[in-house]
Copies of this chain bind each other. A is one copy, B any other.
Amino acid sequence: MNVLLLHPGAMGASIGAALVAGGHDTAWVATGRSVETAKRAGDAGLSPVETLAAGVGGAELVISVCPPHASVDVARAVRDAGFSGLYVDGNAVSPATAETVHRLFDAHYVDGGIIGPPAWRAGATRFYLSGSHAETVAALFEGSLVDARAIGTAPTQASALKMSYAAFTKGSSALLLAVRALAEANGVSQELLAEWDISQPGLASRSAGTAKSTSQKAWRFEGEMREIAATFAEANLPSGFHEGAAELYGRMAVLKDAPGGAAIEVVLAEILGRTLERCG
């Protein structure tokens, strides 16, 4: 099948590579993208096209893998370019946002939710799919490093699953960092870490690891947390957890380019809006 992949970020490139491995010609739109993206796409075996119109014109399937806040805009651009094939939104968006995209493509819409890291090893990454053509899309990944699973025919199930999953993983990470910041603001960090060492072994080092692993990704977690908060509100459940998480990750967004991720002290300083004293 001829596929257009929007866009080959870290995750998207691995999804594209899996399609290429399965024998599917997979293109990406090169204009206006960075040198890093071009390298990733080339390494993944994707073919560059100049414009979205050209990409859409040659594709039977479009897969959108982008930050959640861009999901609807990407979908509208594809629809406005006259695309009439299958459209997969693989992004971390609420069922309501998925429904908005669904309405753009009707029966040609397939909802998607990716769980796990970029798919460079077997068994690590699931691509959940739902909608009337979910099985068709899942079949394209057979034998690849992407474990694609069709979970139903409803057009928002995959997004609901992704939201529920990330609600705990990224929500509890945000909570953990917020708690470290609370103790720091109140001058009881050492006492909290000492108590954790007694009754919550491993939590102190987990908080430091969370700081490092989330600092470069927080800029895009903010939008995902807002989608999750909306998902809670739609279900008449408390949205506050993820409104708080969105605010926390938003304060960390400046750490996007911290090489290797930021240390907990640096992350706490950003969250608290403090200037960190650096050793001379």
Interface residues of A (CB under 8 A from B): 95, 115-116, 126, 128, 151, 154, 156-157, 160-161, 163-165, 167-169, 171-172, 174-176, 178-179, 181-183, 185-188, 191-192, 195-196, 198-200, 203, 231-232, 235-245, 247-248, 271-273
Contact = CB atoms under 8 A, between A and B. Distances in A.
Contact of A238 (B95, B165, B247): B247
Contact of A244 (B169, B241, B272): B241
Contacts of A239: 240, 244
30 contacts: A128-B191, A154-B187, A157-B188, A160-B186, A161-B186, A161-B188, A161-B192, A163-B182, A164-B182, A164-B188, A165-B192, A165-B195, A168-B179, A168-B203, A169-B200, A178-B238, A178-B241, A182-B235, A185-B236, A185-B237, A186-B231, A237-B271, A238-B243, A239-B244, A240-B240, A240-B241, A240-B242, A240-B243, A241-B244, A242-B244
B241 A182 contact: no
Nearest to A176: B168
Kindly name the residue among A151, A161, A188 whose own CB sees the greatest number of chain B CB atoms within 10 A: A188
Contact of A164 (B154, B183, B238): B183
A179 B195 contact: no
A126 B241 contact: no
Nearest to A186: B160
A192 B200 CA distance: 26
Contacts of A174: 241
A160 B176 contact: no
Nearest to A169: B200
A144 to B, nearest CB: 17
Contacts of A235: 181-182, 185-186, 272
A239 B179 CA distance: 11
A54 to B, nearest CB: 37
Nearest to A189: B164
